């Protein structure tokens, strides 16, 4: 397996496909999944002549299942370790959900300062902050995330099956047709990771405030979000991020779910390509 060692000794798994002299696209996956969640995008952009890279977040997928470091500072530093190991330049960074927070933190804290980043894309992403606070009154109550932690600790396999079968892809909506293979692949990825990393990751994706990161980003950034996202509601995420970013462009998709990169890849992929080529 392709592994890089992070600053604290953690082994981070990554996939690196395509011509080494092609423009790189780096994908940051959502909670509690792995780099495999980007299959539909990696194959598409590989076919378009790009170099595509996806890593598994620490504690997730094939990366080391360590006990500590499950926070955005470590997530971004781990992404930087992969990028620097491969010496990627003029890279496009694309993050989904929690990966959108990771990509935002990486670009603001590492990649942009090193001159490695060309553009950023945030899809169904958690910035600026998900949880309800005094300064973020439109956020989700902390009880929502306490409920996620309780369900994970109580019966992780069943919780993940229910999550993928229902709100993640919008399969709980009237008239929706669940896709068994998509549900089972989500469950497979989630169960590959460690329960401790995924439990701690709830705090990382829900309570981290990315406002200052968004303000610091100078590269062109595309913010893509479905208006039927039941996991990261659009009104307190994409709509706010697009206003904070200096060079942000907002694209809203009617009735698209949180997991739109999989179920709506035929729409999402060409839109990503258009932004990358613009």
Residue of 34, 63, 97, 241 marked active site: 97
For residue 120, the SS3 value is strand
In the structure encoding, which two tokens stand for residue 61, read together?
């997928």
Q: Do 70 and 197 contact (CB within 8 A), yes or no?
A: yes
Catalytic residue check, 34: no
- C-alpha to C-alpha distances, 183 to 87, 180, 190, 246, nearest whole angstrom: 35, 5, 11, 37
Between CA 165 and CA 204 the distance in angstroms is 24
Instruction: State yes or no: is 60 an active-site residue.
Output: no
227 is catalytic: no
Distance CA 18, CA 27 (A): 14
The answer to whether residues 14 and 6 touch, using CB atoms and an 8 Å cutoff, is no
Among 74, 93, 110, 258, the one annotated catalytic: 258
Which residue matches tokens 């094939």?
62
Q: Which of 37, 56, 229, 236 is catalytic?
A: 229
- Pair 217, 112: CB distance under 8 Å: yes
DSSP reduced 3-state for 122: strand
Distance in angstroms (rounded) separating the CA atoms of residues 187 and 11? 23
C-alpha pair distances (Å), 18 with each of 25, 34, 46, 51, 275? 10, 19, 6, 4, 20
How far is 103 from 148, CA to CA, in rounded Å? 23
Residues annotated as part of the active site: 97, 229, 258
């Amino acid at each position: 397996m392709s592994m890089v060692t992070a600053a604290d000794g953690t082994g981070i798994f990554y996939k690196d496909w395509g011509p080494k002299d092609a423009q790189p696209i780096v994908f940051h996956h959502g909670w509690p999944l792995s780099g495999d969640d980007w299959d539909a995008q990696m194959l598409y952009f590989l076919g378009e002549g790009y170099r595509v890279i996806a890593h598994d977040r620490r504690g997730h997928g094939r990366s080391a299942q360590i006990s500590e470091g499950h926070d955005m500072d470590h997530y971004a530093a781990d992404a930087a370790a992969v990028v620097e190991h491969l010496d990627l330049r003029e890279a496009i960074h694309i993050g989904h959900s929690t990966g959108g927070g990771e990509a935002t933190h990486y670009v603001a804290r590492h990649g942009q300062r090193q001159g490695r980043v060309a553009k950023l894309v945030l899809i169904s992403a958690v910035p600026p902050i998900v949880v309800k606070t005094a300064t973020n009154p439109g956020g989700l109550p902390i009880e929502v995330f306490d409920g996620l932690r309780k369900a994970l600790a109580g019966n992780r396999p069943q919780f993940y099956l229910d999550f993928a079968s229902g709100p993640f892809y919008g399969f709980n909506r009237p008239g929706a047709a669940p896709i068994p293979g998509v549900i089972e692949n989500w469950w497979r990825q989630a169960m590959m990771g460690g329960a401790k990393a995924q439990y701690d990751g709830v705090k990382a994706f829900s309570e981290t405030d990315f406002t200052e990161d968004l303000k610091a980003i100078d590269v062109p950034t595309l913010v893509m979000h479905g208006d039927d996202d039941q996991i990261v509601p659009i009104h307190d995420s994409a709509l706010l991020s697009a206003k904070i970013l200096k060079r942000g462009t907002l694209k809203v998709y009617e009735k698209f779910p949180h997991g739109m990169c999989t179920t709506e890849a035929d729409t999402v992929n060409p839109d990503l390509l258009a932004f990358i080529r613009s």
